[in-house]
Amino acid sequence: MDRANLLATGRHPLTYCTNVHPADDLAAAEAVYRELAAPALRNALGEGPICLGAWWPADVARALAGDEARLRAHGDLLVELGLVPMSLNVFPLQRFHGDGVKASVYDPSWEDETRLEVTINAATAMAVLLERAGIDHGVLSTLPLGFRGADRTGRPTKAHARNVFCAALALERLRDERGVHLVLALEPEPWCVLETISETVTWIADEALAVAARNGNEAAVRRHVGVCIDLCHAAVVGEDPVVGVELCSSANVRVGKVQISAALVGRGPAGRDALVAFDEPVYLHQAFARDARVGPFVDLSEPALRDAELPDDCELVSHFHVPIHEARMGELTTTHPQVTAFLDAVANDVLPVGVPLEVETYTNPQIADEVAFAANYLLGR
């Protein structure tokens, strides 16, 4: 693959998600872009316009959408840095760093009008910035409707579908006004209402499109709602992401972007104990057994996981975004082989042109190494 294909104007723009850096307001986000993101991306990709994997919590989205002068100044900075915000993460809308994020990362759900409002704010600002950059497309990754709850009883509701449809209508208006085609990409995640790529594709086809059809605008959902495939999430729930891409294609559902990420794997009782040692107080780390003989478990702290009688050959896969270039971490393995297999598939054009590749390893502040690994692997270095 040629380096130009990894730039913002290329076949598969490469970036990383800046949610790895604490930045809960616009000034902090801009400092991240200037001091961390731009140098890391430039080092990996060289000269030319580079895709920025921005993370905008609610306060940042509102600040940009509600103040033309601030949005213009933000655009000036991005132009200066050669960064194009064509991949935006609006999944976590609140604080993402510090103590006790856990299940609050899923608030508010798509049943809540606040989620819709902030998403439209973000899309509005994004469209202005992309129009200025001369880029006519972008993607916003978002919550897969909501959290299932500790008892796993949460299911899709009419409110979920109605609000996602309203978001699609807003993106359609922005396309007409700005000439920028934005996709809202639902990101399936373990223990969420939409947990798998398959469930997400089915929900879009059966629920979101049904609401759109009843309102006379099925095309808005087909054009503006899709899937964000996260490799770590797919590994935890036992999905092959390449098959997931093919499933989207066969169902005529858009792949909005792919998050390049890796999970932790523990084998047998010793592996389970090694996984449990990774338990920490900030994020949920769901764990699923590859053969479903035990679990699933909502977090590594769950007593049922610690007490489970695991066969020696039972493999547990945990939602823990670890460095994508590491095949082992102490006694544990990772899903690094799935990462390289997917990158091989990208080199063989499994993805539609223009779908961003976004490294998401928010547990590793040395993110520049991760971006360099992905770039070098794709470039055959």
What CATH number does the domain containing 94 carry?
Answer: 3.20.20.150
C-alpha to C-alpha distance for 361 and 18, rounded to whole angstroms: 9
- Phi/psi zone of residue 38: left (φ > 0), alpha (ψ -120 to 50 degrees), beta? alpha
Structure tokens at 350: 């499994």
Q: What is the pLDDT of residue 381?
A: 67
Question: Mapping DSSP to helix (H, G, I), strand (E, B) and coil, where does residue 362 land?
Answer: coil
For residue 157, being part of any structural domain is answered with yes
Structure tokens at 81: 């840095």
C-alpha to C-alpha distance for 345 and 342, rounded to whole angstroms: 5
The answer to whether the CB of 360 falls within 8 A of the CB of 259 is yes
From first to last of its 381 residues, what are the pLDDT tens digits of the chain?
999 999 999 999 999 999 999 887 999 999 999 999 999 999 999 999 999 999 999 999 999 999 999 999 999 999 999 999 999 999 999 988 877 899 999 999 999 999 999 999 999 999 999 999 999 999 999 999 999 999 999 999 999 999 999 999 999 999 999 999 999 999 999 999 999 999 999 999 999 999 999 999 999 999 999 999 999 999 999 999 999 999 999 999 999 999 999 999 999 999 999 999 999 999 999 999 999 889 999 999 999 999 999 999 999 999 999 999 999 999 999 999 999 999 999 999 999 999 999 999 977 778 999 999 999 999 996
Instruction: Say what the pTM is.
Output: 0.98
For residue 341, being part of any structural domain is answered with yes
C-alpha to C-alpha distance for 200 and 342, rounded to whole angstroms: 20
Angle at 112 between CA 108 and CA 116, to 5 degrees: 90
Structure tokens at 298: 């909502």
Distances from the Cα of 204 to the Cα of 91, 107, 235, 263, 309, angstroms = 18, 21, 22, 26, 38
C-alpha to C-alpha distance for 203 and 210, rounded to whole angstroms: 10
Structure tokens at 204: 């879009």
For residue 279, being part of any structural domain is answered with no
Provide the domain count of the chain.
1
For residue 325, being part of any structural domain is answered with no
For residue 320, being part of any structural domain is answered with no
Q: How far, in whole angstroms, is CA 118 from its chain's centroid? A: 17
For residue 26, being part of any structural domain is answered with yes
For residue 203, being part of any structural domain is answered with yes
For residue 198, being part of any structural domain is answered with yes
Q: What is the pLDDT of residue 355?
A: 99
The answer to whether the CB of 59 falls within 8 A of the CB of 24 is yes
**Domain residue limits at 99:** 3-260+335-378
